[in-house]
């Protein structure tokens, strides 16, 4: 059976190769390649699954130590090493850093055959194996997914320390590993079904981890919101998957590429179905990657623990949508509408999220909106066929956004859950917070696109230049440029208010007590002094302090008896991870200057299915040459001038933030921006309320559905339940009459028996007499 399939496969490849094009040859190569060399990649799902199971066993055997964390970090680190070894082994095969695509076969998973098989060609089959498709795009994603997962696991080992004494610690790391397992399935799948499995898996893990504090109603609501929003997107992806099989007859990537390429010459018009597939994929990608109109779940997802926000909701899972589009760029290029949808969706999301982020006060939420905004950039980049820029931005964004989240998490952890930027100030000057402050500055510079010395600048710049170089997407370029300025402003708004300025803090109403069970050490005489109400904190200490003290004993002790709050600065694990990530963002800069195609990432992208050159050629051919060339930025070559333009925009944004939020600020709440706020009136208020999008969705979808569900409930209660109850009541009603005959008196029974006998006798007699 497999033999026939392989035969079939090579046949189609042959046809495709006839249709020519560099990418086709490259795809054919990949199929002929039962090329070994990527088998080590199979260790990644195996190791993460092992870690998840071990963490589950830790929970079952009531392990109350940091064992699950070290197990996870060990397994994740080992899987990172596996990926790195595989990549280093293969690198250079294709371009400077690219590799030839190959398949690492795991095991046979789903194989169906029906119809008349054999030589007739009437029979059809459906094959989806657990096999990994390893090409350079896969390697890029897997490198940062496993690398960041290792680092963030290390960070979480300290961050989640308050839960060591509960089953929560094991539960957290089990879900954490399960997430990496699902993500590796998603990224390395060699067919759409395995990709879909991973897609759903990361959604599930995201749900589990957002709802980690399951006793907190807002966390539970956020988890449900994320899950339901993702379901809408997943519907799109699953429909796209089905259409792909219906039209192409296969879901395996290496069989799909040549089939897709056969339309790329433009000789045959692209059928409607093929044009529809990428649009449906886009729905899925926009759901997973939080783009308009499905973006509202991501900011709420910040209810989860911060390591989760950093890994899943900033660095890895939310880039799955970008991965999907990048992976299927060849089919996007064939569609008339898919690329503009992606480009405009991304650009508008970038702008909208940035404007909301400007008006928020919760620093973690600001970072969430900035993630949505940056994902918008990536989609816009893909939409203008700049997959190199998009992938570069995914790569740099993964590091600096994880860094930003982890720094915010350190602040939240140390200040009893305080996230309001109006209640924190000058954190960097407090003892023990220097590393957090400096690394936060590095992250902010990257996000703001500070010129030359940040990786974020180079990747963002690439997207902007790509947008401007397509005349029909010039508007998108302008939107993204404005957004870049806004991004720089809101990023440094956070930095200047929280980390600079006079020292001041108010502790949060720590949920550590209820959910974390953490304590806040006293050893450092923090500068900020607050008359914190002693009672709730004192109680919290009594209940939890003794438990959690052990984990923190190395450099800070317990709370003092007065219950005065003192922030505790992060320990070695958090500081180490922050430092590594900050250095990584710098280390990424040279990567932009090696290789033949705009850097190392460019080489990887060019060596994969998301090769922008072949996609552009296919797009042009399929659109019959309607795609005009040679866009410009105000008459200049965008690729040449965009460095200066985006640098100026970024610095202007930072400058405005400096003037409004740092200069002349003596207390946390007296910045010039606050004086400016009333002047803006309703605009500021609307932005603060997230442009009332949640309310709009509430009116448009939630309320009608709720009304409908009430109607259904009523029907169910009256009609269905009524019918069922009727059948219950009927015997009961009859019974209540008949029951009276059972008097329990023996004579009654006798008498009744006798009368029955008499009646029978009478009937017999009458019959005889007649």
Partner 1 sequence: MTGFASAMSALTGAATLTLGQSDFPHPMHQVTLAHYLVLSALLFGIGLIGFITRRNLIIMFLCTELMFQAAGLALIAFSRFHLNHTGETFVIFVLTIAAAEAAMALALVVLLFRRRETLDASAWSELRG
| List of residues contacting partner 1 (CB under 8 A) | 738-747, 750-751, 754
> Does residue 704 contact residue 306 with C-beta atoms inside 8 Å?
no
With respect to partner 1, which residue has the nearer C-beta, 535 or 745?
745
In the complex, least distance from residue 745 CB atom to partner 1, rounded to whole angstroms:
6
**Residue closer to partner 1, measured from CB, 725 or 743:** 743
Report in angstroms how near the CB of residue 731 gets to partner 1 at its nearest.
14
Quote the least distance from Cβ 739 to partner 1, whole Å: 4
Q: How far apart, in whole angstroms, are the C-alpha atoms of residue 83 and residue 79?
A: 6
d(CA 164, CA 150): 19
Q: What minimum distance in Å lies between the beta carbon of 728 and partner 1?
A: 19
Q: What is the token pair recorded at 154?
A: 């290390």
Residue 483's contacts (CB-CB under 8 Å, 6 or more residues apart) are 347, 350, 351, 354, 373, 376, 377
Which residue, 273 or 734, has its beta carbon nearer to partner 1?
734
Give the shortest CB-742-to-partner 1 separation in angstroms. 3
**Count of Cβ atoms closer than 10 Å to residue 91 Cβ:** 19
Nearer to partner 1, 624 or 740 (CB): 740
Rounded CA gap, 172 and 152, in Å? 12
Distances (CA, A) of 512 to 232, 507, 691: 34, 12, 31
Residue whose CB is less far from partner 1, 700 or 734: 734
- Judged by CB, which is closer to partner 1: 679, or 768? 768
Which CB, 667 or 743, lies closer to partner 1? 743
Residue number with CB closer to partner 1 (679 or 746): 746
CB of 700 to partner 1, least distance (A): 59
Under a CB-based contact definition with an 8 Å cutoff, are residues 253 and 191 in contact?
yes
How many Cα atoms sit within 13 Å of 93 on the Cβ side? 19
**Cα–Cα separations (whole angstroms), residue 423 to 411, 440, 668:** 12, 18, 6
Asked if 386 and 462 count as a contact pair (C-beta separation under 8 A), the reply is yes
Closest CB 543 distance from partner 1, rounded Å: 57
Angle 696-702-708 from CA coordinates, rounded to 5°: 140
| Residue 531 or 741 having the CB closest to partner 1 | 741
Chain centroid to CA 37: how far? 30
Provide, rounded to whole angstroms, the least separation between the CB of residue 746 and partner 1.
5
For partner 1, the closer of residues 626 and 732 by Cβ is: 732
| Gap between the Cα atoms of 580 and 165, Å rounded | 29
Peptide bond into 293 cis (omega under 30): yes
d(CA 666, CA 365): 25
Q: What are phi and psi of 632, to 5 degrees?
A: -145, 160
Give the list of residues 6+ apart from residue 235 with CB closer than 8 angstroms, or none: 283, 284
Shortest CB 715 distance to partner 1, Å: 37
CB of 764 to partner 1, least distance (A): 13
User: Smallest distance from the beta carbon of 178 to partner 1, in angstroms?
Assistant: 59
Question: What tokens does 570 get?
Answer: 């992060």
Measured from the CB atom, the residue of 682 and 744 that comes closer to partner 1 is: 744
In terms of CB distance, is 706 or 752 closer to partner 1?
A: 752
Tokens 């996230």 appear where?
A: 419
In degrees, to the nearest 5, what angle opens at C-alpha 114 toward C-alphas 108 and 116? 125
Least CB distance from residue 224 to partner 1, whole Å? 51
Q: How many CB atoms lie within 10 A of CB 676?
A: 11
End-to-end, the C-alpha distance of the chain in Å comes to: 84
């Amino acid at each position: 059976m497999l033999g026939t399939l392989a035969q079939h496969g090579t046949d189609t490849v042959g046809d495709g190769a006839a249709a020519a094009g560099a990418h086709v040859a490259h795809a054919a190569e990949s199929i002929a390649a039962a090329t070994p060399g990527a088998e080590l990649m199979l260790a990644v799902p195996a190791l993460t699954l092992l870690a998840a199971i071990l963490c589950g066993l830790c929970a079952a055997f009531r392990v109350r130590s940091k064992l699950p964390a070290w197990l996870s970090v060990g397994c994740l680190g080992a899987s990172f090493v596996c990926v790195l070894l595989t990549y280093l082994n293969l690198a250079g095969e294709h371009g400077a850093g690219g590799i030839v695509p190959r398949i690492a076969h795991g095991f046979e998973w789903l194989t169906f055959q029906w119809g008349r098989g054999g030589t007739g060609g009437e029979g059809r089959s459906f094959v989806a194996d657990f096999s990994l498709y390893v090409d350079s795009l896969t390697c890029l994603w897997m490198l940062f997914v496993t690398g960041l997962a290792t680092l963030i696991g290390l960070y979480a080992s300290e961050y989640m320390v308050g839960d060591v004494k509960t089953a929560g610690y094991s539960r957290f790391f089990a879900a954490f590993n399960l997430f990496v397992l699902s993500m590796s399935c998603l990224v390395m799948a060699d067919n759409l079904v395995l990709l879909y499995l991973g897609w759903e898996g990361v959604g599930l893990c995201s749900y589990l981890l957002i709802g980690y504090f399951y006793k907190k109603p807002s966390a539970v609501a956020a988890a449900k919101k994320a899950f339901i929003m993702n379901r809408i997107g997943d519907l799109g992806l699953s429909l796209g998957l089905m259409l792909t099989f219906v039209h192409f007859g296969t879901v395996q990537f290496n069989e799909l590429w040549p089939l897709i390429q056969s339309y790329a010459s433009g000789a045959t018009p692209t059928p409607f179905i093929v044009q529809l597939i990428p649009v449906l994929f886009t729905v899925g990608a926009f759901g997973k990657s939080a783009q308009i109109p499905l973006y509202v779940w991501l900011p709420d997802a910040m209810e989860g623990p911060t390591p989760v926000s950093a890994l899943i909701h900033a660095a890895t899972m939310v880039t799955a949508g970008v991965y999907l589009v990048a992976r299927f760029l060849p089919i996007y290029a064939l569609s008339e509408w898919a690329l503009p949808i992606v480009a405009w969706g991304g650009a508008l999301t970038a702008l909208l999220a940035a404007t909301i982020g400007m008006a928020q006060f919760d620093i973690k939420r600001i970072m969430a909106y900035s993630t949505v905004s940056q994902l918008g950039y990536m989609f816009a980049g893909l939409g203008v066929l700049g997959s190199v820029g998009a992938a570069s931005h995914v790569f740099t964004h993964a590091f600096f956004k994880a860094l930003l989240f982890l720094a915010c998490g350190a602040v939240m952890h140390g200040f009893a859950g305080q996230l309001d930027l109006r209640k924190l100030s000058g954190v960097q000057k407090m003892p023990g917070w220097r590393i957090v402050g400096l690394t936060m500055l590095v992250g902010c510079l990257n996000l703001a696109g500070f010129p030359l010395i940040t990786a974020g600048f180079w990747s963002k710049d690439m997207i902007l230049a790509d947008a401007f170089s397509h005349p029909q997407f010039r508007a998108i370029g302008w939107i993204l440029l404005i957004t870049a300025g806004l991004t720089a402003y809101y990023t440094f708004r956070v930095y200047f208010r929280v980390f600079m300025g006079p020292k001041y803090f108010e502790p949060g109403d720590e949920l550590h007590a209820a959910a974390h069970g953490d304590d806040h050490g006293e050893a450092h005489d923090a500068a900020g002094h607050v008359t914190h109400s002693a009672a709730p904190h004192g109680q919290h200490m009594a209940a939890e302090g003794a438990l959690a003290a052990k984990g923190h004993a190395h450099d800070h002790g317990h709370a003092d008896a007065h219950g005065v709050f003192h922030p505790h600065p992060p320990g070695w694990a958090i500081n180490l991870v922050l430092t590594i990530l900050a250095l990584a963002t710098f280390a990424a800069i040279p990567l932009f200057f090696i290789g033949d195609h705009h850097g190392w990432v460019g080489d990887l992208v060019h060596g994969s299915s998301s090769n922008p050159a072949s996609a552009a050629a296919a797009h042009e051919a399929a659109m019959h040459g309607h795609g005009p060339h040679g866009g410009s930025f105000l008459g200049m070559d965008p690729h040449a001038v965009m460095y200066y333009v985006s640098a100026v925009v970024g610095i202007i944004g930072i400058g405005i933030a400096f003037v409004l939020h740092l200069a002349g600020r003596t207390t946390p709440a007296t910045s010039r921006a606050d004086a400016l706020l009333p002047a803006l009136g309703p605009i500021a208020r609307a932005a603060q309320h997230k442009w009332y999008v949640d309310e709009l969705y509430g009116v448009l979808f939630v309320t009608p559905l709720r009304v409908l569900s009430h109607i259904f409930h009523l029907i169910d209660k009256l009609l269905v339940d009524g019918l069922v109850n009727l059948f219950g009541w009927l015997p009961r009603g009859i019974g209540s009459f008949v029951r009276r005959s059972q008097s329990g008196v023996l004579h009654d029974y006798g008498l009744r028996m006798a009368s029955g006998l008499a009646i029978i006798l009478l009937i017999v007699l009458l019959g005889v007499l007649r």
